[in-house]
Amino acid sequence: PMPGANSTPWQLEGVVLALKDEGMNDIVSVENKTVVTRPKYGEKQNKYDIVYEKYNIPVLYNFEPKDMSWIEYTPKSKLTVLPKIFPEGVKLPDYFFGKNIIQLPTMKCHIYTTTTGAMKNAFGGLLNVKRHYTHSWIHETLVDLLKIQKEIHTGLFALMDGTTAGNGPGPRTLIPVKADYILASEDQVAIDAVAAKMMGFNPMDLKYIRLADEEGLGNGRPENIELVGDDVSGVNLQFHVGDNFASRVGDLLWFSPLKVFQKLFFHTPLVKVFVAASDTYHDKHWWKKHGVRIFEEWKKESPWGRLWESY
């Protein structure tokens, strides 16, 4: 439960309460898994299960056939990379069609996209466990996914938790920073752009934001975004992504000339070697050496850590 890395229980609970106050009681949480995560374990570690039980919120998993099926979808929009990455067809969970979606990202850095937020949240929901095939074209993939979201969802909103923001080589090996902000918008590009600017980055220097803005999928330019609430125009958290072991290996395999061997490394059983290496580095080495200490200090010293303890 790394601070800044995951949706928070108060973020989840706040959305549930706001929806119920408006008479919206048909609320469902949908979770996904990757080759390196365990969602059912994660929901307990992050205390989502407490909120689910308190408000009787059902949980569905996009990888469970009993919950939803993956069906082929032909997008109306022109996609840039997904048809090339998945020549057998783009498949999506049937459950998401015609649904109103609220994304619950956090404000944090990411080793491959500099920042990650609302747009990247769809990465887990709309792509299956083979989504790691897209990493060399991650920026274009996020833009393709936003096009798809606008076609299949009846409504799209994001509430981003920046109470504790994540600095450094995210999304996992982060340095938590008390920021005390929560952002909300129906414009997935704008919320990511504002978050990026608050973290100290020029949003239009981030390829996924720039491409989405250029394609008219949302506003990526701060001067075109209307802010309501606190004046955050001067906020600069001075974040810096940096590198860790995983990012160095990823850069080598996803973005260097070695990427021509991707199918050998990641489309065959060899991928299990990289999954095991990621587990060893993140969970057995980094978490035990650094993460536990950071987490315990956060619980004692941050008001958000103390709120965490109250759940």
Q: What is the pLDDT along the chain (311 residues), one digit of tens a residue?
A: 999 999 999 999 999 999 999 999 999 999 998 767 889 999 999 999 999 999 999 999 999 999 999 999 999 999 999 999 889 899 999 999 999 999 999 999 999 999 999 999 998 889 875 666 787 899 999 999 999 999 999 999 999 999 999 999 999 999 999 999 999 999 999 999 999 999 999 999 999 999 999 999 999 999 999 999 999 999 999 999 988 767 676 666 666 777 666 776 666 777 777 777 778 888 888 999 999 999 999 999 999 999 999 99
Inter-helix orientation angle 118-126/138-152, to 10°: 80
Closest Cα partner for 147 from 94, 91, 188, 111?
188
Distance CA 47, CA 62 (A): 20
Number of alpha carbons in the 13 Å side-chain half-sphere of residue 291: 19
For the entire predicted model, the pTM comes to 0.91
The DSSP call for residue 289 is I
E strand segments, the chain = 29-31, 59-61, 70-72, 91-93, 100-103, 106-110, 114-116, 155-167, 175-185
Distance CA 115, CA 210 (A): 13
Per-domain boundaries in the chain = 9-244
Q: Which residues pair with 184 in a beta bridge?
A: 159
